[in-house]
Amino acid sequence: MSDGPLIVQSDKTLLLEVDHDDATECRRQIAPFAELERSPEHVHTYRLTPLGLWNARAAGHDAEQVVDVLLRFSRYPVPHSLLVDVAETMARYGRLRLAKHPTHQLVLSSTDRPVLEEVMRAKRLAPMLGARLDDPAYEGGAVVVHPSQRGALKQALLKLGWPAEDLAGYVDGEAHPIDLDESQWQLRPYQREAAESFWHGGSGVVVLPCGAGKTLVGAAAMARARATTLILVTNTVSARQWRDELLRRTTLTADEIGEYTGARKEVRPVTIATYQVLTTKRKGVYAHLELFDAKDWGLVLYDEVHLLPAPVFRMTADLQARRRLGLTATLVREDGREGDVFSLIGPKRYDAPWKDIEAQGYIAPAECIEVRVSLGDDERMAYAVAEPDVRYRLATSARAKASVVQELVSRHAAEPTLVIGQYLDQLEELGDHLGAPVITGQTTVTERQRLFEAFRAGEVGLLVVSKVANFSVDLPEATVAIQVSGSFGSRQEEAQRLGRLMRPKADGRAARFYAVVARDTVDADFAQHRQRFLAEQGYAYSIVDADDLLAGR
């Protein structure tokens, strides 16, 4: 037994003692292959998964390095079965390889003929594979693949447990001069490291907390590519924020940046498009797919990649020859499609725990508080007899929430505050009650921009917003958020809503995130699930009773 900071368990969990002298170095060493699950105060939990181990292999780490790290930092003997499993899991990556061929455009080959035979007999792969290739250079056999199947094939192979090593490379795309203009600012060390990790890997995902400057990582990647770039974002407001940021941080001019949204259809050397416009159908056909072929893109950038809609996954399957960068605060997907992100965008190239960035002073510390209200007697009866699919709506709309929100807004009257919810009628009522502007999906883009700018300028101190403000809305001045309802149990939404507050404050004060929840209902159950991701990042929720809050206790 040693005095290492790590406990390696047979269920593939790794427990890291945060206060140990070697904890920082251990965290750095295990980060490439272990997935962080929970990071409360004293012990952080990581897990070894096939996807995480294949991520490591894709990034150039081998099983021997992983085993060495586990043995070196483990406090107790490492279970032998776990070490064997690590080696065998990582050995599955790379037995199949996709590469260019002098005659055929793309070839799937194997160093292990039985593996190739196994996958060739899989029914789902048959339509993607062409003729066998009789070439002595491929000892384990090879089969021709049409380039259009490169992404779909990688997806299917991952699901079969045989992830292919993609050696086919990337086209450079059409060259276009893009440089960072760092005369008034500098990339932070982790932003530079994230951009470099992506570039050396070729394609992949960068995971950084909300407010940590993911847009600047994207800009740095564009400066490395120096090529035409297609940027995909969540909404028009986000598209315009990206445009403003690129104009401020790079040498690009307004004429070089195009907006491809519901309002405009401009194709320029750098084109910013919304997922929504790309997934718009006309007579059953995606009308704007030609955007992907409009230019010889050298880089495709996916903002909030964890939200990637299914149709864009399919479109991305055709973009495998382009460098691809995904940006996100969390790779959590409620539909479990993290594997598709791995196969179609690329492996995770960089990840930084929220608390680490907070400790460096780059994001604000945050206090999370759950305020529990009770349903009135009539509301309890209505809830009890309601159909299951309407109970959440009834619970989140509890009358008691309005007085709690009023009290919290009054307490923080001097601080820029957001009231956030899911249901439009609830938000309209709160807006009337508080005398505050309301922003929903029905608010025009021009009006949204006007109100967000007024909030940033301090002319408006309180906004009531729907889920349109969850993603890619830059409100660095926001200090308080009060959540009255959410998208059921969405962990990613909870993280994004807290993220609205994470920009560091000029006076160094902490942000406050309130969740107003109806006890003894599905509202409380969903709230608990939503909070899980933030708890795993080290944010503890304190619980306050609404009656105590209103009584000033």
Helix intervals (H) in 3-134:
23-30, 50-58, 63-73, 80-92, 113-120
Does residue 498 surpass a pLDDT of 80? no
Q: How far apart are CA 361 and CA 448, in angstroms?
A: 30
> 59 and 116, same structural domain?
no
The domain tally of the chain equals: 4
Q: Which residues pair with 482 in a beta bridge?
A: 419, 514
What domain range is 20 assigned to? 6-92
pTM across the whole model = 0.76
Name every residue whose Cβ is closer than 8 Å to that of residue 523 and which is 6 or more positions away in sequence: 392, 395, 396, 398, 485, 517
Contact 313, 344 (CB under 8 A): yes
Angle at 119 between CA 115 and CA 124, to 5 degrees: 170
> 382 and 282, same structural domain?
no
> 313 and 209, same structural domain?
yes
> 146 and 53, same structural domain?
no
How many beta carbons lie within 10 A of that of residue 380, not counting itself? 16
Say what the pLDDT of residue 431 is.
Answer: 93
Structure token digits, residue 524: 């409380």
Residue 174 domain-assigned (yes or no): no
20, 21, 23, 28 alpha-carbon torsion, rounded to 10°: 180
Does residue 363 surpass a pLDDT of 90? no
Q: How far apart are CA 145 and CA 304, in angstroms?
A: 31
What mean pLDDT is reported for the chain? 87
Q: Which of 358, 385, 410 is a domain's end point?
A: 358
Q: What does DSSP assign to residue 142?
A: E
Does residue 492 surpass a pLDDT of 80? no
> 102 and 83, same structural domain?
no
Contact 42, 17 (CB under 8 A): yes
Residue 256 domain-assigned (yes or no): yes
Q: How far apart are CA 6 and CA 9, in angstroms?
A: 10
Say what the pLDDT of residue 470 is.
Answer: 62
User: How does pLDDT run across 147-184, given as a tens digit for each residue?
Assistant: 888 888 988 898 899 999 888 888 889 999 999 998 88
Contact 179, 246 (CB under 8 A): no
Q: What percent of the chain has pLDDT above 70?
A: 94
Residue 181 domain-assigned (yes or no): no
Residue 469 domain-assigned (yes or no): yes
Does residue 486 surpass a pLDDT of 90? no
> 383 and 511, same structural domain?
yes
Amino acid (1-letter code) at residue 338: E
Say what the pLDDT of residue 216 is.
Answer: 95
Q: How far apart are CA 246 and CA 508, in angstroms?
A: 27
Residue 214 domain-assigned (yes or no): yes
CATH code: domain of residue 221: 3.40.50.300
Q: What is the CA radius of gyration of the chain?
A: 25
> 123 and 78, same structural domain?
no
Decide: helix, strand or coil at residue 195: helix
> 75 and 149, same structural domain?
no
Decide: helix, strand or coil at residue 534: helix
User: How does pLDDT run across 294-337, given as a tens digit for each residue?
Assistant: 889 999 999 988 777 777 877 787 788 889 999 988 776 656 66
Decide: helix, strand or coil at residue 229: strand
> 451 and 414, same structural domain?
yes
> 509 and 381, same structural domain?
yes
Residue 23 domain-assigned (yes or no): yes
Say what the pLDDT of residue 445 is.
Answer: 83
Lowest mean pLDDT among 191-195, 206-210, 238-242, 538-542: 538-542
> 211 and 329, same structural domain?
yes
Residue 171 domain-assigned (yes or no): no
Q: Which of 358, 382, 397 is a domain's end point?
A: 358
Lowest mean pLDDT among 83-87, 92-96, 274-278, 313-317: 313-317
Contact 239, 272 (CB under 8 A): yes
> 406 and 517, same structural domain?
yes
Residue 388 domain-assigned (yes or no): yes
Q: Which of 338, 358, 378 is a domain's end point?
A: 358
Q: How far apart are CA 266 and CA 259, in angstroms?
A: 5
